């Protein structure tokens, strides 16, 4: 009996110990689970806090960047404007530099002096070789225009060195601007080119434009100069010449016809007067004997009856026109007076 009690006691003691051990293990596992969950929650909380801090930092950074952009945007605009102005000034300085301006001025001065020299050379050659005077003088305006065109082209290509697109654009814009701003000048320039290439007259010809009669001494780009019989220089715009009627006495020939008018009474001896007029013409030193001399008679009854005697002859050189007319008039009046033509009337 005592042994049975002892065994039962030991069994219940073992069972109680086992139960306590199991309870302790369960409590430990629960504690470990709770601790793990706490750690997990703590980690998640730290992650959330970290994410919140990161989001807060991003928001602050974005706000700061926006503020910086707002602050830097005017500064950037000012910087761009300053940079553009600097580039424009640099380009303008490159294009309009003192050295380039001096080069252009010297080139234009040289060409101007060269044209003056060539004009003097052509005049000297024309005076020396009188038979070829008009052929020599025709080269004068052509040479001047070629010199100016070549000089301007070389200056533009060498100094400014534009591209083909830039050159075409510049030519187009320049033509448009000049077309509105300088219509009269452009008309005169194109008129001068038409005169040179169409050649209605040349230097040395005797022309009549707008009542101005005389020898053409210069055909310029803008105007034409005429030396009248009174030795006055008349400057006529080329546009006026192109749009007006032109009378050319010699049309490039060295000689030209001169018409001398004599007014006599109606009742004259025609044959006697014809002989006197013919002799007065052929005795002039300016006469071109290779061309015929013609004497014509016309009666007029406007204010009072009168006979107009026209003596037509050619002179050796168009410059002798006035001298020939004076010689013939003087010789004819002397001979008519001696023949008693005026007294007989």
pTM: 0.51
State the pLDDT at residue 187: 73
Q: Please state, in angstroms and rounded to a whole number, the distance separating the CA atoms of residues 82 and 75.
A: 10
State the pLDDT at residue 15: 44
Q: Please state, in angstroms and rounded to a whole number, the distance separating the CA atoms of residues 260 and 223.
A: 31
Tens of pLDDT along the chain (345 residues) come to 444 444 444 444 444 454 455 545 554 565 666 566 656 656 665 665 566 556 666 666 655 555 555 554 566 666 666 776 676 666 656 666 777 778 888 888 888 899 888 888 888 888 888 777 777 877 888 888 888 888 888 887 777 776 777 667 767 776 676 666 566 666 777 777 778 777 888 888 889 988 889 899 888 878 889 998 888 899 998 888 888 888 888 888 888 899 999 988 888 888 999 999 999 999 999 999 899 999 999 988 877 888 999 999 999 888 888 899 999 999 999 998 888 877 655
Whether the CA torsion 335, 264, 287, 325 is positive or negative: it is positive
Contact by Cβ (8 Å): 260, 311: yes
**Residue 120 vs residues 23, 115, 148, 218: alpha-carbon distances, Å:** 137, 9, 17, 12
Pairing outcome for strands 246-248 and 294-300: unpaired
- How many CB atoms within 10 Å of residue 214? 22
The residue with tokens 């009742």 is 267
Q: Where are the domains of the chain?
A: 1-95, 99-248, 256-344
State the pLDDT at residue 1: 47
- How many CB atoms within 10 Å of residue 238? 23
Q: Please state, in angstroms and rounded to a whole number, the distance separating the CA atoms of residues 216 and 228.
A: 9
- Domain 256-344 sits in CATH 3.40.640.10: no
């Amino acid at each position: 009996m005592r042994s049975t009690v002892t065994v039962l006691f030991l069994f219940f003691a073992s069972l109680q110990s086992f139960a306590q051990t199991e309870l302790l293990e369960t409590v430990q596992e629960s504690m470990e689970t709770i601790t793990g969950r706490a750690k997990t929650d703590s980690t998640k909380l730290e992650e959330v806090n970290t994410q919140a801090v990161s989001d807060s930092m991003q928001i602050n950074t974005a706000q700061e960047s926006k503020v910086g952009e707002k602050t830097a945007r005017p500064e950037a605009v000012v910087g761009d404007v300053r940079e553009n102005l600097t580039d424009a000034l640099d380009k303008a300085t490159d294009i309009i530099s003192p050295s380039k301006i001096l080069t252009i001025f010297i080139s234009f001065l040289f060409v101007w002096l060269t044209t003056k020299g060539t004009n003097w050379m052509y005049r000297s050659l024309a005076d020396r070789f009188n038979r070829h005077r008009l052929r020599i003088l025709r080269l004068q305006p052509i040479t001047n225009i070629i010199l100016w065109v070549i000089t301007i082209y070389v200056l533009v290509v060498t100094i400014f060195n534009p591209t083909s697109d830039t050159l075409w654009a510049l030519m187009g814009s320049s033509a448009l601007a000049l077309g509105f701003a300088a219509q009269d000048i452009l008309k005169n320039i194109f008129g001068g080119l038409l005169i040179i290439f169409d050649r209605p007259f040349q230097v040395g010809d005797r022309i009549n434009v707008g009542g101005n009669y005389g020898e053409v001494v210069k055909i310029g780009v803008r105007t034409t100069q005429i030396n009248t019989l009174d030795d006055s220089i008349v400057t006529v715009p080329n546009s006026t010449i192109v749009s007006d009627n032109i009378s050319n006495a010699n049309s490039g020939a060295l000689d030209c016809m001169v018409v001398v008018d004599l007014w006599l009474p109606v009742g004259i001896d025609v044959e006697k007067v014809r002989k006197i007029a013919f002799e007065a013409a052929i005795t002039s030193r300016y006469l071109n004997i290779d061309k015929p001399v013609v004497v014509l008679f016309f009666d007029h009854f406007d204010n009072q009856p009168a006979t107009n005697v026209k003596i037509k002859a050619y002179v050796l050189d168009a410059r002798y026109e006035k001298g020939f007319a004076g010689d013939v008039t003087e010789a004819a009046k002397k001979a008519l007076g001696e023949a008693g033509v005026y007294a007989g009337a």
